Amino acid sequence: MSHPRGDLLAMLIERSYSDREVVLSSGKRSNFYVDCKQTLLHPDGMALTGTVLVDEWQHQQLDIDAVGGPTMGADPMTCAFVLQARRRGLSLPGYFIRKEPKGHGTMAYIEGVRTLGAGSRVLVLEDVITTGGSSLRGIEQLRRAEFEVLGLFCLVDRMEGGRAAIEAEGVPVTPLYTRANFPGAETA
């Protein structure tokens, strides 16, 4: 019998993980890299991601009005989540958080929330957390829009302080996987 969480991890290891020197968006150097988009943009990877995320959301019984996160990392995760929830008969809108406000029209930081009002409860998605910087900026934008951030789900926590920084802001973090799940990365 297939287990979506194990299947997704196997796909992340195969398609997204590499042992190599990189400079991360935080500016830190690392001897491993996890490019989740290689998995997220594969049809099977997107389907598995949606299944695992919605399973976790339902397991935690979070009462949310929308789901999304910082663009680009969370974009395919958001689409996968929304579609998988819909397949289960649940209608939950998604949103994207821009790095900069839209340069024309609404000048918005957050897209897809037109039908949501102040006080709406949201879940944040993130592909990889290192220092938590992009997540924290996104949470700040959501709070400025008067949304209540109930939690954050990430595919991979690199275990380099990001989770603690996000949780210090009152947002519980649920990592689906950590660096310890990737061969070679656990000692990095």
Domain around 104:
4-180
Would 94 be classed as within a structural domain?
A: yes
Output the DSSP codes for 123-147.
EEEEEEESS-HHHHHHHHHHHHTT-
User: What contacts 16, CB < 8 A, 6 or more positions away?
Assistant: 34, 35, 36, 37, 38, 39
- pLDDT at position 85 is 98
Would 148 be classed as within a structural domain?
A: yes
Would 187 be classed as within a structural domain?
A: no
What CA–CA distance (Å, rounded) separates 153 from 166?
11
Would 185 be classed as within a structural domain?
A: no
Band (104; pLDDT cuts 50, 70, 90): low
Would 145 be classed as within a structural domain?
A: yes
What CA–CA distance (Å, rounded) separates 77 from 9?
15
Band (103; pLDDT cuts 50, 70, 90): low
Q: What is the pLDDT of residues 113-158, one digit of tens each?
A: 888 888 999 999 999 999 999 999 999 999 999 999 999 999 999 9
Six-digit token string for 75? 């974009």
User: What contacts 27, CB < 8 A, 6 or more positions away?
Assistant: none
Whose CA is closest to 84, among 153, 16, 148, 130? 153
Helix (H) or strand (E) holding 29: strand 29-34
Whose CA is closest to 109, among 133, 84, 142? 142
Would 61 be classed as within a structural domain?
A: yes
Helix (H) or strand (E) holding 4: helix 4-11
How buried is residue 73: exposed, middle or buried, by Cβ count under 10 Å (0-12/13-18/19+)? buried
Q: What is the pLDDT of residues 58-98, one digit of tens each?
A: 999 999 999 999 999 999 999 999 999 999 999 999 999 99
Q: For residue 91, give the CATH number of its domain.
A: 3.40.50.2020
Would 41 be classed as within a structural domain?
A: yes
What CA–CA distance (Å, rounded) separates 11 from 39?
7
Q: Are 20 and 10 in contact (CB under 8 A)?
A: no
Calculate the average pLDDT of the chain.
Answer: 92
- pLDDT at position 114 is 83
In the chain, the number of structural domains is 1
Burial 147-157 (b: 16+ CB within 10 A, else e): bebbbbbbbbb
Would 186 be classed as within a structural domain?
A: no
pTM for this entry: 0.93
